[in-house]
Structure 1
Amino acid sequence: MKSTTVSIIGGVALMTMGMLLLLDRLGIVESGVFAPLITFAGVGSVFVALFILRRGNWWAAIPGSVFLGLAAVIAATSFTEGAAVGSFLFLFMAAGFGAVYLRERNFWWALIPCGVMSVLALVAILPAELQGAPTATVLFLGLATTFGLLSVVSVRLPGGTEGSPTGRMRWPLIPAAVLGMLGVTFAFQSAAQIISWDVAVLAVVMVAGLALLAYGYHARNIGQKRAHGH
């Protein structure tokens, strides 16, 4: 039954391609636009069918998302005038790796390319005016967020006991911190390009004032609690 379903999907894709080539040969439709779109969509659908029909075919989500993403890029390029059509490929690939993790929760590694592809999709749709430091800010902060979220995901640890076989990994916090610092550095450079020096100094003064108020309020509460013996 499973192989029959895959065969049906492949047969429909081949018949559609053949029909388009026939119409092109007869001069009715120009298949040069639709043939690559149908090809990639058909191949991607076969891999998606393999992924859905059998749990062990988790790997099929990755090539399926790539082919469907290429089909989406071709469709967007042919029928729209958007400059960020490449983001469709990254979005589909992110969905593919996300599907791998949802299918096999032990494959926590799939969250890394899922997050990376999501960030690249976001970078691809940024306007040209934000190229340079703002783009680097989004890239590094997005990657830092990916590793930060990975550190809060429960995974099966090698040294886990029967009572607590799962836990949270701490090593993703290291690349998250490094990438976060790079993102903050580029954020300051972006702010320096957009905001004048006088405004930046006033903003720093205001933030410092808020920090002092928060520290004073916190220290006052601690002092009151100690005075009342709490």
Structure 2
Amino acid sequence: MKSARTSIIAGIALMAAGVLLLLDLLGILDSAALVWPLIFAAAGAAFLTLFLRSRDNWWAAIPGSVFLGLAAVMTVTQLWPGAAEWGGAVFFLFMGSGFGAVYLRERSNWWALIPCGVMLTLALVVALPQAWGGIPVAVVLFLGLAATFAALSLVPVHPGPSPRDGSHPGSGPLPGPGSYPDRPAALAGQPGAAEPSRMKWPLIPAAVLAVLGLIFALQATALLTASEFFVPVFLVLAGVALLVYAYRHRAGAHPGAQHNVHGA
């Protein structure tokens, strides 16, 4: 089986090399310009094969996406020189896809969603027209990062093994439901203990990044003409929030007094 697979791979490689040499002799294509893209593509394909072979090889998606992205960028820029400005966006798309594949292969690798969202956001930033200037770029960057952390808060995270499940050395397996005649089977198994939960901390950077993105968006649409307006407006809003909090706290602390006043 291994010898047949090796023969297939070697045959495809020889056919591709022959086609490239033939195109070079006919003057249709400069095969020397495709040497490095082919090398990077071969390295990426090797890592991709390693990734698909076993679930434990989830890490291979990261270097595989990098090599495939380099091969795609070099091929696009050499075959279509006018599309060179899209090279960065294509590379970031490949890298984001690699981190996304890491999460899809092993759902416990929730951290891979952060670089995945960052790479996809950078792809959007690079693809923006150069005439847009700096403020729209900042809007897309901050809002894209905010969406990344907001999406991370929706991802279910499975808890790790507890010390009672027999996974640590020196502990035996848990008794079955039948070992506790005076306890219901549902309580003995505790099915709700392994239910996934959702993280709350990503909401903090998501909120901060979203506020920054909205500030830049307001400034880009000329609703705020100068940055010196930010501090006075922030102070006014903070004062209003403190007054509302004080009023609600005082009203909640004396419910009986308000009732007596209304009764009189």
TM superposition score normalised by structure 2? 0.64
Shift of 1:50: 0.8
3-state SS, counterpart of residue 55 of structure 2: coil
Match of 1:143 among 142, 145, 149: 145
Match of 1:132 among 126, 131, 134: 134
- Name the aligned partner's letter for residue 163 of structure 1: G
Partner residue of 1:206? none
Give the direction of change, closer, same or farther, for the CA distance of 1:118–1:130 in structure 2 (3 Å limit). Answer: same
Match of 1:163 among 178, 185, 192: 192
1:43-96, Cα deviation, whole Å (9 max, x unpaired): 111111111122211111111110111111011111221222211111111111
- C-alpha distance in 2, partners of 1:9/1:104? 31
Partner residue of 1:59? 59
CA RMSD of aligned residues (A): 2.9
The 8 Å contact of residues 69 and 89 in structure 1, kept in 2 or not, is answered as yes
Give the direction of change, closer, same or farther, for the CA distance of 1:39–1:175 in structure 2 (3 Å limit). Answer: same
Partner residue of 2:44? 44
Shift of 1:32: 2.8
1:99-120, Cα deviation, whole Å (9 max, x unpaired): 1111101110111111111111
Give the direction of change, closer, same or farther, for the CA distance of 1:90–1:2 in structure 2 (3 Å limit). Answer: farther
Shift of 1:178: 1.1
Give the direction of change, closer, same or farther, for the CA distance of 1:15–1:120 in structure 2 (3 Å limit). Answer: same
Shift of 1:146: 0.3
- Name the aligned partner's letter for residue 117 of structure 1: M
Give the direction of change, closer, same or farther, for the CA distance of 1:163–1:85 in structure 2 (3 Å limit). Answer: same
Amino-acid identity (%): 51
Partner residue of 1:186? 216
Partner residue of 2:90? 88
- C-alpha distance in 2, partners of 1:34/1:133? 38
- C-alpha distance in 2, partners of 1:128/1:64? 30
TM superposition score normalised by structure 1? 0.73
- Name the aligned partner's letter for residue 186 of structure 1: F
* Count of aligned positions: 194
- Name the aligned partner's letter for residue 214 of structure 2: V
The gaps in structure 1 that reach 5 residues or longer are 198-230
Greater gyration radius = 2
- C-alpha distance in 2, partners of 1:85/1:169? 35
Shift of 1:4: 7.6
- Name the aligned partner's letter for residue 159 of structure 2: L
The 8 Å contact of residues 58 and 103 in structure 1, kept in 2 or not, is answered as yes
3-state SS, counterpart of residue 47 of structure 1: helix
Match of 1:110 among 112, 119, 124: 112
